[in-house]
Amino acid sequence: MEKQRTYLCIDMKSFFASVECAERGLSPFETNLVVADESRGKGAITLAITPKMKALGVRNRCRLFEIPKNIDYIIALPHMSLYIKYCADIFDIYLDYFSPDDIHQYSIDEAFIDVTDYLSIYKLEPKQLAKKIINEIAERTHIPATCGIGTNLYLAKIALDITAKHCKDHIGMLDEETFKETLWEHRPITDFWNIANGIATRLARYGIHTMKGIANAPEDLMYRNFGKNAKILIDHANGRESCTIAEIKSYKSKSKSISNSQILFSDYDYDKAHVVIQEMALTGCQRLIREHLIASHVGISVGYSKDAAPATGGTLKMANSTNLYSIIREYVDRLYEETISKDYPIRRLGICFSGLADESAEGYDLFTDVEALEKERKLENTVLNIKDRFGKNALLRGLDLKEGATQKERNKLIGGHNGE
């Protein structure tokens, strides 16, 4: 019989806001602080708020103008590189106790750890081990953490998201039995991982408002409405999850496309936006070269300011699969000229490379100057090596200095926010 496993799901409480408090020598439980880029105006979204702000009824990810005027608070500019450093420091703490093979970093502030084989090594119960890790994180980084403990990854996540919020020590524990005993009737159903409003609305049409309702629903009804995702919903409603960290580690994506999009800093006209889509094409080509991939299709999309007109764009199949900008740019320019309107201000841009294959499958016709293309690829690899060593802005092209170009500024950002 397979050994029952024990997982921790550890989350840093209000991570970005807690980091900003730690840097200021403040407690996030005693400080009114929000993380937001005030330069974007009062409509700027708060990326994080402290627990004290939440206790005052302020909603996370609200806009600055939505915060009651009678609350005095600190506005901290996002410092993404600092948050990444703290994430790395916390990961180092995990490595003091566990093998990296047993850790899955789920997001910048959340990680799953399979502690099954470590309980006997440290001679600790699951909750004792969780407390030990949380206390060390607080001692070494001054970041508060919460934890869910479960007999599978799903239950660990639910123990964190729901159960831990009602525990004085902020550590929740669940197995299949206690999950059914304590959470089968829990509402709203959207509190459960992977059940968003759309799924909840479809379930409600059949009078299903709880996990117990899903578990007891006719399977044919579930599969008819949710297809293959019905199995996941049914398993989770019964507290089951077969996926393990080992399987996550061994997973290889079968994705056949890569894409990139951006919301422009202001409304752009047709010509300025054309510069940006060319920059995005170049960045995409560099990613393809870095990953030794080629694409057979390229597509673009454009969204207009304030939805002045429906989004436009299209996709083209290239004569030969490639990753070289000199070739792909011709198709991008053609798409842009044929599908994008000159009559409306532009605010959103997207580009997609599809039909991906290994670079070794590249082929050209008899009229292609293969030597020139290989020279271009070697040059791009050299550029990438320099950028890796000295920073993304160590080398810029004339394209990046044209009016409206955004790449130079975006190279300073992480996740679309201040990268310092």
- Secondary structure (DSSP) of 203-243: HHTTT--SHHHHHHS-HHHHHHHHTTHHHHHHHHHTT----
- Residues of the chain with pLDDT > 90, as a percent, come to 73
Helix, strand, coil fractions of the chain, as percent rounded to 5: 45, 20, 35
The pLDDT mean for the chain works out to 90
Q: How far is CA 307 from CA 94, 197, 264, in A?
A: 47, 24, 14
Here the CATH number for the domain that contains residue 352 is 3.30.1490.100
Q: Are residues 94 and 231 in the same domain?
A: no
Decide the pairing of beta strands 145-150 and 171-174.
parallel
Ranges of beta strands (E only) in 305-345 are 312-322
State what percent of residues in the chain have pLDDT above 70: 89
77's CB contacts (< 8 A; 6+ apart) are: 35, 36, 37, 38, 418
Examine the domain organization and report whether 394 and 279 are in the same domain.
Answer: yes
Q: How many CA atoms lie within 13 A of 354 on its CB side?
A: 10
Q: Which uninterrupted H or E stretch holds 129?
A: helix 126-141
pLDDT band at 383 (very low <50, low <70, confident <90, very high): confident
Find, among 118, 138, 141, 128, the residue nearest to 171 by Cα: 128
With a cut of 60, say whether residue 416 has pLDDT above it: no
Report if residue 281 sits inside a domain.
yes
Confidence of residue 384 (pLDDT cuts 50, 70, 90): confident
Whether 307 and 168 map to the same domain: the answer is no
Which is higher by pLDDT, 391 or 215? Answer: 215
What are 93-121's pLDDT values in tens digits? Answer: 999 999 999 999 999 999 999 999 999 99
Q: What is the CATH number of the domain that holds 215?
A: 1.10.150.20
Give the per-residue pLDDT at 192.
97
Q: If pLDDT is split at 50, 70 and 90, which confidence band does 402 have?
A: low
274, 411: one domain? yes
Count of domains in the chain?
3
Q: Could you tell me the CATH number of the domain that includes residue 48?
A: 3.30.70.270
Read off φ and ψ for residue 42, nearest 5 degrees: -70, -15
- Same-domain status, 269 and 413: yes
Kindly state whether residue 349 falls inside one of the protein's structural domains.
yes
pLDDT attached to residue 253: 63
Q: Is residue 305 part of a domain?
A: yes
Q: What band does 372 get if pLDDT is binned at 50, 70 and 90?
A: confident
Q: Across the strands, what pairs with 257? A: 354
Are residues 217 and 278 both part of a single domain?
no
Give the SS3 label for residue 185: coil
Position 126 in a domain: yes
Q: Could you give the residue ranges of the DSSP H alpha helices within 239-269?
A: 245-250
Verify that 262 and 407 share a domain, yes or no: yes
Last residue of a domain, one of 247, 268, 300: 247
Question: Are both 240 and 303 inside the same structural domain?
Answer: no
Reference 277, options 383, 396, 387, 405; nearest CA is: 405
Q: What's the confidence (pLDDT) of residue 264?
A: 86
Q: Are 153 and 116 in contact (CB under 8 A)?
A: no
For residues 89 and 9, membership in a common domain is answered with yes
Question: Has residue 252 been placed in a domain?
Answer: no
pLDDT at residue 215 tops 60: yes
Domain boundary among 174, 204, 232: 174
Query: Under 8 Å CB-to-CB from 112, ≥6 apart: which residues?
Result: 7, 8, 9, 103, 104, 106, 153, 156, 157, 245
Where among 247, 269, 301 does a domain terminate? 247
First to last CA, the chain: 51
Closest CA to 269 of 403, 413, 407, 417: 403
Q: What is the mean pLDDT of residues 238-260?
A: 85
Query: How far, in Å, CA of 416 to CA of 63, rounded?
Result: 17
In the predicted structure, residue 203 carries a pLDDT above the cut 90: yes
pLDDT tens, position by position, 120-141: 999 999 999 999 999 999 999 9
Q: Which domain holds residue 228?
A: 184-247
Confirm whether 179 is domain-assigned: no
pLDDT of 64 above 90 = yes
Q: Is residue 19 part of a domain?
A: yes
d(CA 327, CA 369): 12
Residues 167, 218 within the same domain: no
Is the residue at 290 inside a domain? yes
| Domain co-membership, 199 together with 161 | no
In this prediction, residues 70-75 reach a mean pLDDT of: 96
- Check: pTM over 0.75? Answer yes or no: no
pLDDT number for residue 36: 94
**How many separate helices (H) and strands (E) can be counted in the chain?**
16, 15
DSSP 309: S
For residues 216 and 119, state if they share a domain. Answer: no
Q: Is the pLDDT of residue 238 over 90?
A: yes
Q: Using one digit for the tens of pLDDT, what is the confidence trace for 152-183?
A: 999 999 999 999 999 999 999 999 999 999 99
